[in-house]
Structure 1
Amino acid sequence: MSDFFSLGFGKTEAELDIPSLPVRGRMPEWLSGTLLRNGPGTFEVGGQHYRHWFDGLAMLHKFSFQNGNVSYANKFLRNRSYAEAKAQGRIAFSEFAADPCRGLFGRAMAVFRPDITDSAKVSIAQLAGQVMALAETPIQVAFDPQTLETAGVFQYEKNRVGQMTTVHPHLDESRREAYNVVTRYNAVSFYNIHSVSNTGKMQRIGSVPVTKPAYMHSFGMTQNYFILAEFPLVVNPIDLLLWLKPYIENFRWEPQRGTRIWLVHRGTGEVAAQYDTEAFFAFHHVNAFEQGDEVVLDIAAYEDASIIQSYYLDKIKDAKSELPFGNLRRYRLPLKAGKTRGIKVTYETISDACMELPHFDYANYNLRADYRYVYSISIDEKRRQGFYNQLVKVDIQTRETKTWTEENCYPGEPIFVPKPDRMTEDDGVILSVVLDAKRGTSFLLVLNATTFEEISRAEIPQPVLIGYHGMYLPEKENA
């Protein structure tokens, strides 16, 4: 486990640009496009170490496919966080669980000159006609998907922006718009829902006022509604103003509140309904759709928010530490319940498999009731100690689970890429960047998405740190 930790949570030795990676097996000839990945490029700056998996300086990775060849490049995102860290030789900006202010005076000054990170290392999305690296702060960083060069900064609402946003905006290709939720902390806080057109025009669609805002990493969307799951991991905005702790350590788990689910109408921006259910926590909504008189929400859920504590690096380094087990749940939200507030709902468990960083064919099956397959990283239920060491595929209809695993290998988020002439939903490949602790390097794994068996792998000559999210750009979108 110690080798895994130093390889996956250390620092990247070099920025590379390799025209052709060595391949074991045969890359599909039809695979033509670019896989982009985002995540931390180092957990060390000078003599300082970041404390949490969600901290670190952002690094982009690019795998380009053409005629069976795979090229690879990686590059640090050139932003203020990176520049100041290099110039000062220390952690210069507050992160998810890192606070560079040492002492009361420094923290007090941070209230008036907030040094909030622009290290956009969590996910990647197409926003305002550009490819963006996203962070949980509303400072998104555009970059060139071909060169990985940093292009500039995009902010919601400019000077009227809130303080935190989700890193999983939803896309509506028919309207050529993206949507996201930005939380504004104040005496009365708001979840503000925004649309962003392909030309960058921004509009606030609606707002939900709250007294204690919740930590929100993602949200759901159907044809007519936005879905905001308000887990009872909440913060008093005054605690954020005082800035006595790193950001996430100001939040408190209050299970007596239960979980509130807000349904906001996409057309009017008004709250259509509010549902109550037992306390749970999630990073990731999976999919949502309307079916008859119900909105159906699929989500990768935990019993509580202890998973955040499990991602502190000292916990990950401890081989005896156990990861909390989250799995795929389905909530049914009635649209005709006879009232619009306090509607009680329960859930069904779709799969007992541990699921994190879930992925499905979003481009073709988002909002659709007939979607069938979800892919994710996972960990053996009999061996919860350690870190995510397998990939799973869940069939929502049959509840069957397929698994890929290899000794001392730690896969990242699985990305589904469909065949151009596919006949079924899962006719394509799964792409995942895997850390190989045996060899001390990483490789890009290509699985047959139907059988979940390996087709090939492209070997990278250095380890890729354990990251989070990415996206695949077909060749026509990468031109």
Structure 2
Amino acid sequence: MRVGFTSLEHEVVAELEVRGELPRWLSGTLVRNGPAKFETAGRPFRHWFDGQAMLHRFRIADGAVGYRNRFLDTPAMRSVRDDGRIAFREFATDPCRSIFDRFFTRSRVVANANANVNVLLGGDEDLALTETPIAVEFDAETLATVGLSVPDGALTGQVTTAHPHVAPRTGDLVNYLLKFGRRSVYQVYRQRAGVRELLAALPVDRPGYVHSFAVTERHVVLVVFPLVVNPLALLLRGKPFIENYRWRPELGTRFVVFSQEDGSIVADRRTDAFFAFHHVNAFDDGDRVVVDICSYPDASVVDALYLDEVRGDAELPLPFPTRYEVGPDGVDSRRLAGEALELPRISYGPHNGRAYRYAYGVGAHGGSRHDFFNQLVKVDVHSGRTSVWHEPGRYPGEPVFVAAPDARAEDDGVVLSVVLDAGAGRSCLVVLDASTFTELARAEVPHAIPFGFHGQFSSR
């Protein structure tokens, strides 16, 4: 398992050996994103989220799979590679600077473009994304970095999500931008023809760490967990970003529901404290909004993913798919399944923001907390039934659902996952039948791919 948190130094282009048979209709490109360099000149990064970004491209056509990988060529990566130093503030690692340097260069250490979280494909630009507003444009064919994509100046802020959503009815790209200040503001915006338009603003005194959010056909749902920060601490404490946040369970978890029509707040409810990185999906149900989330009891998972911890034998907190129904009288919740679920995906195009039945993710075989995520899970959110794919010693990444061109059912298609064989020190692309959750084929990669985060499939 430790090999999944070991740097991958080389970049290759290869045709992969395929075992099994790929569906003839499966044609397109899967681009995965994640950290791949965890140290420089003897100084390690501290957290899984801090590793320098590498893209991995799997080109699938006519039953064959081609592969290439490439680091993003960012200012942060150039400092690591060429100068042997950490020059930009990461999620949990501070730059190699003296106290004097930190005081006079605060603006620079905030604006990091280590876009190691997700990708956005198929628009005017192909972008690698992280939780700062600076994205990185790349060439989807060669994976070469084109340059930094800096948003227009209409909206400003320091934190965003790497999980923008397509609004189901309008096709607008929706996200939020958090602007720190004496009174911080969550700015929910929609993007039309490349122009950002403010939809709603939510002022807060102590903003929470929010990695993702949800949309429905009529609403945007922002869930603010009680892992909160005093914005002044980001300037004065001299600590890495996330170490300024504090778990305050007495605040509870806040569900804020905005109208997509005019940005008004249609619901603002609190429930017991919990934490999450990822939303599964959300949809409207009469006067209620249903929000499905991979829910942890608290924020201890953030500390569990420090590299010293996750490479050791520390327990890994597990998230469970949980349904929260936001109604006129408050928030009701219930667990959707008994299997842990993280890095969730759905049949996105027809079901994002709408009623759905199936979710896919990674989980923990036998509910063990003494290993990393080591199985793929399919959840029927109607019945709670689950299907799993598991092989001992193998660690799958986020499963990406690809619908068959003539799909008649929600799960008519395949699931793609990059799986690490820890013993062999190699990874492979595994293709499952999404309906039966059985393996159809796998394509062997010539090296181990470090554990990554998110990716997207494009039919081009």
Q: Which residue of 1 aligns with 2:316?
A: 323
2:440 to 428, 435, 455: 455
Shift in Å at residue 195 of structure 1? Answer: 1.4
Q: Note the alpha carbon deviations across 1:356-394, whole angstroms, 9 max, x for none.
A: 10111111211222x111010111244210211111100
Name the Cα RMSD after superposition. Answer: 1.5
Mean CA deviation greater in 122-131 or 444-453: 122-131
Shift in Å at residue 174 of structure 1? Answer: 5.1
Summarize the alignment of residues 314-463 of structure 1 with structure 2, pairs less than 5 Å apart: 314-319=308-313, 321-334=314-327, 337=328, 343-369=329-355, 371-463=356-448
The 2-side partners of 1:315 and 1:189 are apart by 32
The 2-side partners of 1:135 and 1:66 are apart by 29
Mean CA deviation greater in 432-441 or 118-127: 118-127
Mean CA deviation greater in 268-277 or 178-187: 268-277
Shift in Å at residue 193 of structure 1? Answer: 0.9
User: Residue 287 of structure 1 contacts residue 367 of structure 1 at CA under 8 Å; is this kept in 2?
Assistant: yes
Structure 2 residues not aligned, in runs of 5+: none
User: Residue 11 of structure 1 contacts residue 465 of structure 1 at CA under 8 Å; is this kept in 2?
Assistant: yes
Mean CA deviation greater in 78-87 or 161-170: 78-87
Q: Which residue of 1 aligns with 2:106?
A: 111
Mean CA deviation greater in 175-184 or 102-111: 102-111
1:224 to 218, 226, 230: 218
Mean CA deviation greater in 383-392 or 229-238: 383-392
User: Residue 111 of structure 1 contacts residue 243 of structure 1 at CA under 8 Å; is this kept in 2?
Assistant: no
| CA spacing shift, 1:101–1:91, aligned 2, 3 Å | closer
The 2-side partners of 1:298 and 1:159 are apart by 32
The 2-side partners of 1:466 and 1:112 are apart by 30
Q: Note the alpha carbon deviations across 1:310-343, whole angstroms, 9 max, x for none.
A: 1001111113x11112101111112xx2xxxxx5
Indicate yes or no: 2:265 matched with 1:271. yes
Q: Which residue of 1 aligns with 2:127?
A: 132
The 1-side partners of 2:146 and 2:259 are apart by 34
Summarize the alignment of residues 5-24 of structure 1 with structure 2, pairs less than 5 Å apart: 5=2, 7-18=3-14, 20-24=15-19
User: Residue 40 of structure 1 contacts residue 465 of structure 1 at CA under 8 Å; is this kept in 2?
Assistant: yes
1:172 to 167, 171, 181: 167
SS at match of 1:213: coil
Shift in Å at residue 89 of structure 1? Answer: 1.1
SS at match of 1:158: coil
Q: Which amino acid aligns with 1:111?
A: R
User: Residue 219 of structure 1 contacts residue 228 of structure 1 at CA under 8 Å; is this kept in 2?
Assistant: yes
| CA spacing shift, 1:177–1:153, aligned 2, 3 Å | farther
SS at match of 1:105: helix
Q: Note the alpha carbon deviations across 1:244-285, whole angstroms, 9 max, x for none.
A: 110000000000000111011111112222011000001011
Summarize the alignment of residues 23-34 of structure 1 with structure 2, pairs less than 5 Å apart: 23-34=18-29
The 2-side partners of 1:467 and 1:388 are apart by 12
Q: Which amino acid aligns with 1:397?
A: H
User: Residue 357 of structure 1 contacts residue 413 of structure 1 at CA under 8 Å; is this kept in 2?
Assistant: yes
Q: Note the alpha carbon deviations across 1:216-262, whole angstroms, 9 max, x for none.
A: 00011111111000100000001012151100000000000001110
Shift in Å at residue 21 of structure 1? Answer: 0.4
Q: Which amino acid aligns with 1:284?
A: H
The 1-side partners of 2:135 and 2:303 are apart by 26
Q: Which amino acid aligns with 1:96?
A: F
SS at match of 1:86: helix
Structure 1 residues not aligned, in runs of 5+: 338-342
SS at match of 2:378: strand
| CA spacing shift, 1:113–1:166, aligned 2, 3 Å | closer
Shift in Å at residue 426 of structure 1? Answer: 0.7
| CA spacing shift, 1:421–1:450, aligned 2, 3 Å | same
Aligned residues: 460
Indicate yes or no: 2:291 matched with 1:291. no
Q: Which residue of 1 aligns with 2:89?
A: 94
The 1-side partners of 2:211 and 2:426 are apart by 30
Q: Which residue of 1 aligns with 2:230?
A: 236
Q: Which residue of 1 aligns with 2:77?
A: 82
Q: Which amino acid aligns with 1:389?
A: N
Q: Which residue of 1 aligns with 2:180?
A: 185
Q: Which amino acid aligns with 1:364?
A: P
Q: Which amino acid aligns with 1:241?
A: L
User: Residue 127 of structure 1 contacts residue 178 of structure 1 at CA under 8 Å; is this kept in 2?
Assistant: no
Q: Which amino acid aligns with 2:452?
A: G
User: Residue 340 of structure 2 contacts residue 367 of structure 2 at CA under 8 Å; is this kept in 1?
Assistant: no
